[in-house]
Chains A and B, each alone.
Chain A
Amino acid sequence: MSVAAPVHAPEAQAPPVRSGRVVRLGRVSGVVRWRDLAVPLVALIALVLVSAVSMGRGDFPIGVVDVLRTLAGLGEGPQEFIVLELRAPRVVVGVLVGLALGMAGALFQTFARNPLASPDTLGITTGASAGAVAAIVLSGGTSAGAVLGGLGIPLAALLGALTTGFLLFLLTWRAGIDGYRLVLVGIALWAMGTALTDWLLTNAEIYDAASAYVWITGSLNARTWDDALPLALALVVLLPAALATSRLLAVLQFGDDTARGLGVRLAPTQTAVVLLAVGLVAFAVSAAGPIAFVSLIVPQIAVRLTGGARPPLLASGLLGALLVVGADLVTRTVLPEALPVGILTAAIGAPYLLWLLVRGRRRFT
Chain B
Amino acid sequence: MATTVDVPARDAARTPARPLRARRLGTLLLLLALVGAAALASIAVGTRSIGLGDVWGSLLDSALTTDDAVVVRQLRVPRTALGLMVGLALGLAGALMQGHTRNPLGDPGLLGVTAGASLAVVLAISLLGLTSPAGYVWFAFAGALAGTVLVYAIGSAGRGGATPLTLALAGAALSALMYALVRAILVSDQQTLDSFRFWVVGSLAGRGADVAWQVAPFIAVGVVLALVNAPALNLLGLGEDVARGLGQRIWLARAVGLAAITLLAGAATAACGPIAFVGLVVPHVVRALTGPDHRWLLPGSALLGAALLLAADVIGRIVARPAELQVGIVLALIGAPFFIALVRRRKAAGL
Contact A342 B183 (CB under 8 A): yes
Those of A257-285 within 8 Å (CB) of chain B: none
Contact B333 A196 (CB under 8 A): yes
Those of B325-351 within 8 Å (CB) of chain A: 325-326, 328-329, 331-333, 335-337, 339-340, 343-344, 348, 350-351
Contact B172 A357 (CB under 8 A): no
What CA separation (Å) do A252 and B164 show in the bound complex?
23
Contact A180 B350 (CB under 8 A): yes
Contact B284 A184 (CB under 8 A): yes
Known: A192-B336, A343-B184. A350 touches B351 (CB 8 A): no
Residues on B with C-beta less than 8 A from A350 are 173-174, 176-177, 180
Contact B159 A361 (CB under 8 A): yes
**B4 → chain A, closest Cβ, in Å?**
10
Stretch at the interface among A32-40, A85-93, A115-123: A115-123
Known: A184-B343, A353-B173. A340 touches B154 (CB 8 A): no
Picked from B103, B241, B281, B332, the residue with its CB within 8 Å of the CB of A114 is: B103
Residues on A with C-beta less than 8 A from B336 are 188-189, 191-192, 195
Contact B102 A171 (CB under 8 A): no
Residues on B with C-beta less than 8 A from A77 are none
Contact A349 B105 (CB under 8 A): no
Residues on A with C-beta less than 8 A from B181 are 347
Contact B339 A188 (CB under 8 A): yes
Q: Is the interface of B mostly helix, strand, loop or mixed?
A: helix
**A133 → chain B, closest Cβ, in Å?**
11
Contact with A along B165-188 (1 / 0, CB 8 A): 110111011101101110110111
Contact A194 B197 (CB under 8 A): no
Contact A357 B169 (CB under 8 A): yes
Contact A201 B197 (CB under 8 A): yes
Picked from A181, A191, A194, A217, the residue with its CB within 8 Å of the CB of B183 is: A217
Contact B328 A198 (CB under 8 A): yes
Contact B340 A340 (CB under 8 A): no
**A105 → chain B, closest Cβ, in Å?**
12
Contact A357 B155 (CB under 8 A): yes
Contact B174 A354 (CB under 8 A): yes
Known: A189-B336, A192-B333, A202-B198. A349 touches B157 (CB 8 A): no
Q: List 12 A-B contacts (CB under 8 A).
A: A13-B241, A184-B339, A188-B336, A192-B337, A195-B333, A209-B193, A292-B176, A296-B176, A297-B176, A337-B188, A343-B183, A357-B155
Q: Which residues of B contact A (CB under 8 A)?
A: 101-106, 110, 154-155, 157-160, 163-166, 168-170, 172-174, 176-177, 179-181, 183-184, 186-188, 190, 193-194, 197-198, 200-201, 239-241, 276-277, 280-281, 284, 325-326, 328-329, 331-333, 335-337, 339-340, 343-344, 348, 350-351
